Amino acid sequence: MLFAAIAFAMLAFAVTVGERRPIEPTSGAYAPSVRAFVALAAFGMTLAWPLWRIAMPPAGWSAGRAALDATTLVVAFQAAFWPLHLVSGRTLADAALLDALVCGWAVACGAVVALSANRTVNAGLAGTVLLAVPCLGVALDAGGAPHPWPALAGPFVGILEGAPTRPVAAETAFGAIAAWPWVVAGTAWGAATWPRTRSGAGLAGASSIR
């Protein structure tokens, strides 16, 4: 997974930043390319990887392996995102919020993979949710739904919301949007590990009685 993540990051960089060099490489001139890279990375972390994982046979998979995959993707994203932040024209706080937004949804999608691996949730249902939720966010944004509802459905609208300059109220709202996927991730991972915890406790109790 680490090699696949690095290869995908290199391809995403080549397609976005590497092939879109501005005429005047000033600070902030790379902002559109960096935004495109982040969007492509978010696609890989929140759609391509979980759907690929769910489509494969569940044999040998567990919540632990899903967590390891999600962690690998998040670490690989850090290695690519923060150097690019230096030429994106964003402030440090704004880049940190965008990073939290993308990684939060990646961790949440990892929980969906874990739920499917544990067979707590049907694989078809899990795949449908992974596709439907971000599509709903984009559809709400295209339909003119009021802020912040479109961005709460996935990382893609939130990436566009993270403009370098905006009023304080908008910055506060974006901070709330970036925190939201971590709430979803915590709830989903709790659901993914709960059945195993209960079964493990039951076995321990039965062993102590014997």
**Phi and psi torsions of 20, nearest 5°:** -130, 55
Give yes or no for a cis peptide into 148 (omega within 30° of 0). yes
Mean pLDDT of the chain: 78
Residue 88 has pLDDT above 60, yes or no: yes
C-beta of residue 99 within 8 angstroms of C-beta of residue 158: no
DSSP H helices, the chain, are 2-13, 31-43, 49-55, 63-85, 92-117, 123-142, 155-161, 168-209
144-195 pLDDT per residue, tens: 888 778 888 888 888 866 544 455 556 667 788 889 999 999 999 998 888 5
Rounded-to-integer distance, Cα 148 and Cα 161, Å:
9
Integer Cα distance of 124 and 172 in angstroms: 36
Domain count, the chain: 1
* Cα 68 off chain centre by: 14
pTM of the complete model beyond 0.85: no
Domain assignment of residue 80, given as a range: 2-209
Spacing of C-alpha 140 from chain mean position: 19
CA distance 58 to 54: 8
Contact criterion met (CB below 8 Å) for 117 and 138: no
Q: In whole angstroms, give the CA distance from residue 71 to residue 106.
A: 9
pLDDT above 70: percentage of residues in the chain: 72
Q: 168-209 and 63-85 are packed helices; what angle lies between their axes, rounded to 10 degrees?
A: 160
- Which among 110, 108, 119 is positioned nearest to 59, based on CA atoms? 119
Instruction: Give pLDDT tens digits for 90-120.
Output: 788 888 988 999 999 999 999 999 998 888 7
DSSP state at residue 56: S
- The pLDDT value recorded for residue 87 is 75
